[in-house]
Structure 1
Amino acid sequence: MCQKQHGAAFATYASVPRADLEYLSGQELLTSYRSSGSVIRKFCSVCGSNIEWSGSADFPDWVSIAVALIDTRFQPKSIQNIHLDSKACWLQNG
């Protein structure tokens, strides 16, 4: 699903507790849709950029933000490759 959402071999997200996420501006530009089951995706209603997704049954109080949106230095505490069973057939690493 992330491949189709991003139009790329994989998507890169940073996940944080919903309570720790604060939009400083532009929240009125977000549009939401339910992509599957309980998952809600948000994107920019002006340019269409992917912004976030949430609603995971395993982590209901967390939200995942597209890393490319972060304009400050980002140093993740950990990195995980997930859903490797559906990776692009031509992708060698991961």
Structure 2
Amino acid sequence: MSDAIKGGCQCGAVRYEISEPLHNVSHCHCSMCRKQHGALFVSFGTTAVTHLSVDGEDSLSSYESSANLTRQFCSNCGGQVLIRAEDNPDNVFVALGSLDAGQSPGHTGGERHIFWESKVSWYDPSDDLPKMTGYGE
């Protein structure tokens, strides 16, 4: 991939570059993601930690949202940036809302909705993406 995928938090204290297309792009409807981001669902993509470089790591705060997941956000503006899974230390999940304007995750399909059973009842995305229970594993 010739051009890095770039993003960061709202205030710019945390910036990142990813040197490969993201994979496992998922739109998560779990209550933790909805409440943490204040949104109906949250979109994430996965990358290997070796393909991610972060500037401003000293501005990242962490929150353990469950026994296995740590969410990282900017301590200045609160912008959600990354999620790390204890049982998957070689990869990191990137909040796609934190990508810079005009940036694409670079993936080639395979998107899906996860935790579909937890979505709000009054909104139904009108797409044909697979709708998974839990992570769909």
TM-score when scaled to structure 1?
0.85
Equivalent residue in structure 2 for 1:19, among 50, 75, 88:
50
Q: Secondary structure at the match of 1:2?
A: helix
Equivalent residue in structure 2 for 1:69, among 95, 98, 104:
98
- 2: CA distance between counterparts of 1:77 and 1:38? 28
Cα distance 1:90–1:56, how it changes in 2: closer, same or farther (>3 A)?
A: farther
Matched, 1:9 2:44: no
2:115 aligns to what? Answer: 83
Structure 1 unpaired stretches of 5+: none
Q: Residue type matched to 1:39 in 2?
A: L
2:74 aligns to what? Answer: 44
Tell me the percent identity.
Answer: 33
What CA deviation, in whole Å up to 9, does each residue of 1:26-46 have, x standing for no partner? 111001121111101100000
RMSD of the alignment, in Å?
1.7
Runs of 4+ that moved beyond 2 A: 75-78
TM-score when scaled to structure 2?
0.60
Structure 2 unpaired stretches of 5+: 1-31, 126-130, 132-137
Larger radius of gyration: 2
